[in-house]
Amino acid sequence: MCGRFTIAVSQKELFAYLQAEYGVKSRQFDFEVPRYNVAPGQNVLAIIHDGNQYRVGALKWGLVPHYAKDENIGFKMINARSETLHEKPSFSPLLKKKRCLILADGFYEWQRSLSGKQPYRFITKEQRLFAMAGLYSTYQRSDGSKLHTCTIVTTDANGVVGKIHERMPVILNSGDSYRWLDASVEDAEKLLPLLKPFPDDSMRGYPVSRVVNSSKNETEACIEERTEASFGRLF
């Protein structure tokens, strides 16, 4: 699964990435960086394609289907398994029409031990921003206001993440991210092959402080590498 991630870049780095990768020129979106401990229920930075251009905006993490009776269901729908997207009633319509990218530069997973849960952060070896595959939905509240939410698509862990956890978010390279957002594509058979593990040789993981275990902690200390001997070999 993916239950916590980072987008620990400056505003300048973020805008440069959005312009270079997606031709986004507007800086008018409500999302502040850097973020060191993004958690479910919080806003994330997402990219969609409206049929004419790429657009960037904030979505609440935790999918609330349009037919939901209680928007708190979103906390149970922070992830969507890639293998069953086309089968689940909550996800299959979104796979056709409501695909998005969620930006990050790292994500956390936890290793259980007798001494508690030890967090690890996973990043690309290039240490750059990347796009996670997502789905989004719009829910209308009883007062008429709208809630825009999303879920992160997950797949089997690669060899790096698999040392800690069996699942990981789908990280798309540039070419696959454009195909994922292509509004003209609705066929699951063309989309599902994109949802594969990120290459082992392009990723690394390292242990971080348990300060990240609480989503209330949002400081640079969350991403600092721990090198105590007790962690053993890094990977």
| Active-site option among 13, 32, 71, 109 | 109
Q: Which pTM value belongs to this model?
A: 0.95
Structure confidence by residue, pLDDT tens digits, 33-91? 999 999 999 999 999 999 899 999 999 999 999 999 999 999 999 999 999 999 999 99
- Domains, the chain, with CATH or none: 5-231 (3.90.1680.10)
At 29 the pLDDT is 81
Check if 218 is active-site.
no
Query: What are the residues whose beta carbons fall under 8 Å from the beta carbon of 233, sequence distance 6 or more?
Result: none
Q: Which amino acid is at 103?
A: L
Q: Does residue 109 have an active-site annotation? A: yes
Query: What are the structure tokens assigned to 172, written together?
Result: 């798309």
- Residue 170 to residue 73: CA distance in whole angstroms: 22
In sequence order, what DSSP letters do the residues of 49-65 get, joined into one string? E-SSSEEEEEEEES---
Exposed e or buried b per residue across 60-73, where buried means at least 16 C-beta atoms within 10 angstroms of its C-beta = bbbbbbeebeeeeb
Which tokens sit at 68? 């939901």
